[in-house]
Amino acid sequence: MLKKCFFLALVSGLSAGVASIVYASVYSSSMGVDFSKIVKPSGLVGASEFGTLLAAAGYFLGSKFLKANTDAVFNILFLLLTFASCVGPFATNLPVTVSNPELFPGYVIPMHFFPFMLWVVMKPFFMKPDTASAD
Amino acid sequence: MKKLLVPIAFAAVMTLSAFAAVNSMDWRIVDGYNIAFTSKDPSGVFKTMHGDISFDPNNLDASKFNVSVDVNSINTGNGMRNNKAKGEKFFDADKYPNITFVSTKMMKTPSGFETKGTLTMHGVQKEITIPFTFANNTFAGSFSVNRLDYGVGDDKGMSAHVSKDLRIDISVPVAKK
């Protein structure tokens, strides 16, 4: 279980990182802004990996207590935490040399959702659907 | 006829040289200027300025600053805070789009120069003195303003957390016109 959680976190984190890099590139070119010095591509992958590894630890610990309800509770909790994390970009102070800081939340907030989305998408490849909850 | 030509030529040369002297005092603002404000909270920059600068260290009576800063170019590094600063409660950029300084007097000081003039911000005019230096074709100066003197925000509620005194640091490179 722990091994599956770890690999799910690794793959979904990496996928979320790649999705973030693609989104960052599209956003930057279409909006004419450059936040690459604030958020580096390696940072995007690192942050995504950190998020999913943290989620994996939470999922593993939660499964010990929640049993068949793990997925339902975990998904709600993961989504709520993702929403809560969106406050951060609004409060971030960028260097004054960076133009258009008002476009920064639109740049990073969608990225906050990628780890959750990729976790949900990738999970069936690593863990079989919970038969207990299906009954 | 020859006798007439000499004084005319002399007068022409003198007139032209006088114009040349006046022109050498006029400066245009070039890229790389910095208008920064610093306080406990917030700090930031104004990114756009323009104006007329006439300055001759040897003829301060004929020197004059008439500069204007675009309020909408404020950048505190945070989009929400920028919008708040430009809003009605603070600078009210729609109504007062510029902060202007027009000098009335220039003086030499031991450390450089000093200019007295009128600072207009948020529609309020105040006489202020700005010490400055001029070296390597760059004007540099620092002074402080109290935002409440100009009616920029108030001292109630959340606005009370915004520093009242702001230090302004200006660096303006110029080139001769």
Q: Could you give the 3-state DSSP secondary structure of residue B92? A: coil
Q: Which residues of A touch B80 (CB under 8 A)?
A: 90, 102
In the prediction, which pLDDT does B10 show? 56
Total domains, chain A: 1
Nearest CA in chain B to A87: B80
CB B77 to CB A93 under 8 A? yes
pLDDT over 70 at A131, yes or no: no
CA pseudo-torsion sign B90, B93, B95, B96: positive
Angstrom distance (rounded) from CA B148 to CA B145 = 9
What is the per-residue pLDDT for B49? 95
Does B83 sit within 8 Å of A94, measured CB to CB? no
In this predicted structure, the answer to whether residue A50 has a pLDDT above a threshold of 60 is: yes
The set of residues, in sequence order, having a beta carbon less than 8 Å from that of B138 and lying 6+ positions away, is B171, B172, B173, B174
| ipTM computed for the complex | 0.74
E strand or H helix at B85, and its extent? Answer: helix B79-86
Question: pLDDT tens, A77-121?
Answer: 999 999 999 999 999 999 998 989 999 999 999 999 999 999 999
* Residue A134 falls inside a structural domain: no
A26 versus B5: the higher-pLDDT residue is A26
Q: Is residue A132 part of a domain?
A: no
Question: Is A58 contained in some domain?
Answer: yes
User: Which residues in chain B land under pLDDT 70?
Assistant: 1-24
Query: How far, in Å, are B73, B107, B112, B160 from residue B151 at the CA level?
Result: 19, 29, 31, 13
Mean pLDDT of chain A: 91
Going along chain B from its start, the domains and CATH numbers come out as 25-176 (2.40.128.110)
Q: Is residue A32 part of a domain?
A: yes
With CB atoms and an 8 Å threshold, state whether B79 touches A105: yes
Helix (H, G, I), strand (E, B) or coil at B115: strand
Domain assignment present for residue A80? The answer is yes
Q: How confident is the model at residue A127 (pLDDT cuts 50, 70, 90)?
A: confident
Residue A133 lies in a domain: no
Minimum CA–CA partner of A98 in chain B: B77
Which of B36, B43, B79 is nearest residue A101 as measured by Cβ atoms? Answer: B79
Domain with A6, as residue range(s), is 2-126
Looking at the predicted structure, is the pLDDT value of residue A67 above 90? no
